[in-house]
Chains A and B, each alone.
Chain A
Amino acid sequence: MKLINQCKLQFKSLAENVAFARVTVAAFASQLDYTLNELEEIKVAVSEAVTNAVVHGYENDSQHFIEITVSLTEKGMEIKVEDRGKGIEDVDRALEPAYSTDPERMGLGFVFMKSFMDDFRVESEKGQGTKVVMFKKVNSSNTETEH
């Protein structure tokens, strides 16, 4: 896949930066031909990944950094969200719907990421951090109807 454009964001692990991250990634994504609805889905997926990094990865300690790499290709966009926080001990369990370590949360973060993106994977190791890699096809509905 030919790379059209790429950006890297690095920001402190602060709750206020969740909105910054989703708006910035959606603005960058709008260089591709996404619908408004798809841009909304991208915003939710990015928010969920960054929220996880702030709340779970760094346990609300704002001294750390979260990094996002966005790569635009003619097929779509890859978004990588990385933290070097505490990591997830059991990734499979964390991916189960409604799994949450906090009663105030619904355990829907990964569910939304999976539902709204075309491809999604989580790499994590205890004590080493977490990397979420997501891919959103561009014009996916048009492509499907052509076949």
Chain B
Amino acid sequence: MQWTFQVEGSILLVRLNGELDLGVANKLRTELDSALENHDARNIIFNLANVTYIDSTGLGLMLGRYKKISRYGGKMALVAPQPQVKRILELSGLTSIINEFKDESEAMAKTK
């Protein structure tokens, strides 16, 4: 899996590409947490358009960051998950607490 971070004001935009599982979770978690701290960001948008696989490890990573930013009033948003990823998100109940958007611009506008 590859990822890039982009900071827009208080938002950390995370673009993920590939399969999100135990094999990458620790590295991604560490880099995400440092990016949040270094840029003083309190909102996170995960662009999932290019994520082809996710399981409970990936969900746990997102939930952990959600809990972290929620403590400071931060928001989280998900962008364009593919059907197989969306199904896992729905089954976990994560989509009932985290908003989902069609594209990045809509997510950015609603996450400020």
B is bound to A = yes
Listed in ascending order, the chain A residues whose CB lies under 8 Å from chain B are: 15-19, 37, 40, 43-44, 47-48, 51, 54-55, 102-109, 111-112, 115
**Residues of chain B contacted by A18 (CB below 8 angstroms):** 21-23
A106 and B84 contacting across the interface, CB-CB below 8 Å: no
Q: Chain B contacts of A55 at CB under 8 A? A: 22
Across chains A and B, which 9 residue pairs bring their CB atoms closest together, nearest first?
Answer: A108-B56, A105-B60, A15-B22, A104-B64, A47-B55, A18-B22, A16-B23, A15-B23, A106-B60
Q: Footprint of A on B, CB under 8 Å?
A: 19, 21-23, 25-26, 29, 53, 55-57, 59-61, 63-64, 84, 88, 91-92
Interface centre among B29, B60, B91 (most CB of A within 10 A): B60
Instruction: Collect the chain B residues with CB atoms within 8 Å of residue A112's CB.
Output: 55-56, 88, 91
Measured in the bound complex, the distance between the Cα atoms of B1 and A19 in whole Å is 11
A108, B26: Cβ atoms closer than 8 Å = no
Complex Cα spacing A63 to B21, Å: 21
Chain B hits for A19, CB < 8 A: 19, 21, 23
Known: A15-B23, A47-B57, A106-B60. 8 other contacts (CB 8 A): A15-B21, A19-B21, A51-B57, A55-B22, A104-B29, A106-B56, A108-B56, A109-B56
